[in-house]
Structure 1
Amino acid sequence: MALYEWNASTAGLLGTALGHSEIVLRNAIDTALTARHQRLHRAGHWLDDPHRELDQRARDDIETARARLQRAGAPALPGKLIAELTFGFWRFLLARRYTTTLWSGIRPGFPHMPGRDRRVIEAPVARLHLLRNRIAHHEPLLAEPLPDRYDDLLTLVGYVDPALRTWLEAITDIPHQLARRP
């Protein structure tokens, strides 16, 4: 029972921290791609994908998000649409398929990331996506390298802004929680 309780508490703390990091990730990508869209003098919002740079899965995700907003009676404004898209949507914008198209536009969203290789950010985001799914499906975290995932989370946020990393460290009690494992 002690392990079960520890797992549930840890999942809650990590889930909260992952939520904050997802918001940082999606806002960084959106800000960067919005700037790119404007630099290229394109009308509308980058999610409108006027040059069909997004793959079919991404376009489907956007349409699904729009439909959810419509069913809820909410306008499909860019900010609402950004918030409605899944962690997976943002994770896959960092995939190899976008290296020659979107990556150069996304990269400025992570001004503190070393180098230019998209894999530097894709790898921790992919691992966090898997952890987020484990937490969302109430799976045990006992075999997960949680200190490494916490480091991934802090690294991701720090790539956007070191002050956000410091803030996230200050509001979470994850290291203490991990140390309390029975």
Structure 2
Amino acid sequence: MNQSTTLPQLLEQRLSPPRFGPYLAAAGTHDAALRLYQWNVAASGATYEALHLVEVVVRNALHGELEAWHAKRNRGGDSWLTTPPPDLTTEACRDISTARDRAQKAISASCRRTGITTVPTPTADDIVAQLNFGFWRYLVAKRYTHNIWVHALRHAFPNQQNLQAVEKPLMRLHLLRNRIAHLEPIHTEDLAARRRDMIQVVGFVDRKVQSWFATVERVQEAVKSRP
């Protein structure tokens, strides 16, 4: 780089022209593209933060109903994560197995660090924490309409009993979450609409939590600050 190279031009090379290109195409100049890129990073952070809250609320609601259904069918005993419902797809069962293995490795590593010699097995909560958003999103899918949804999962959304009405916003939020996780641009996304999806989904679970969520999420602030 020669001394006449501007900071935006330098950053284009450091970030890579293929990555910087979409911002330059959208903004028109290197200066404007850099401002858009910086906004995209900030907006991604605010959106991921909000998605974190949505995911935790949704997964805990689904997990709670599946535990209750499993206990009722099996008269107590183990968790649905230990003995998955036969209605689950092979892929879902594999995800649970992988999550259990990851949880066990995390517990074993913690025990080694602290000198504990008796390594406990993962609890249901340990396994839940290792299951990603995609797992929960695909539990709320059309294939489960006449089994898991009607028997258990619909109770996780007391304010919306139509599966499709729950699945569609979750699907959009899952796609957005993946874009952010893979550091892809979201400046072409309708973040105001995705914010409405988040508020709506949380409201399907609990209206009081929805009111709280709407006061702490920062997506609206990010949308307003777009250059």
Structure 1 portions without partners, runs of 5+? none
Deviating 4+ runs (over 2 angstroms): 48-51
Query: Residue by residue, what CA displacement relative to the aligned partner does 1:91-126 show, whole Å, maximum 9, x if unpaired?
Result: 11011111111001100111112xx32111000001
Partners of 2:164 and 2:68 in 1: CA distance: 22
Give the corresponding residue for 1:41: 74
Partners of 2:187 and 2:221 in 1: CA distance: 16
Query: Residue by residue, what CA displacement relative to the aligned partner does 1:47-98 show, whole Å, maximum 9, x if unpaired?
Result: 2335522110001001111111122235320011111101111011011111
TM-aligned CA distance change 1:51 to 1:33, over 3 Å: closer
Shift of residue 151, structure 1, vs aligned partner: 0.5
Query: Residue by residue, what CA displacement relative to the aligned partner does 1:130-166 show, whole Å, maximum 9, x if unpaired?
Result: 0000000111011111111110011010111111111
Give the corresponding residue for 1:130: 175
- TM-score scaled by length of structure 2: 0.76
Give the corresponding residue for 1:106: 153
Give the corresponding residue for 1:3: 36
| The 10-residue stretch of structure 1 (163-172 or 69-78) with the greater mean CA deviation from structure 2 | 69-78
Shift of residue 39, structure 1, vs aligned partner: 2.1
Report 1 or 2 for greater relative contact order, CA contacts < 8 Å, sequence distance ≥ 6.
Answer: 1
TM-aligned CA distance change 1:50 to 1:23, over 3 Å: closer
Give the corresponding residue for 1:58: 92
| The 10-residue stretch of structure 1 (97-106 or 17-26) with the greater mean CA deviation from structure 2 | 97-106
Partners of 2:174 and 2:186 in 1: CA distance: 14
TM-aligned CA distance change 1:50 to 1:149, over 3 Å: closer
SS at match of 1:138: coil
Q: Does 1:80 align with 2:126?
A: yes
Structure 2 portions without partners, runs of 5+? 1-33, 109-120
TM-aligned CA distance change 1:4 to 1:51, over 3 Å: closer
| The 10-residue stretch of structure 1 (59-68 or 71-80) with the greater mean CA deviation from structure 2 | 71-80
SS at match of 1:112: coil
Q: What amino acid sits opposite 2:61 in the alignment?
A: A
Give the corresponding residue for 1:176: 221
Partners of 2:78 and 2:124 in 1: CA distance: 10
Partners of 1:33 and 1:51 in 2: CA distance: 9
Partners of 2:52 and 2:153 in 1: CA distance: 20
Larger radius of gyration: 2
Name the count of aligned residue pairs: 180
Q: Does 1:152 align with 2:186?
A: no
Shift of residue 41, structure 1, vs aligned partner: 3.0
SS at match of 2:188: coil
TM-aligned CA distance change 1:180 to 1:36, over 3 Å: same
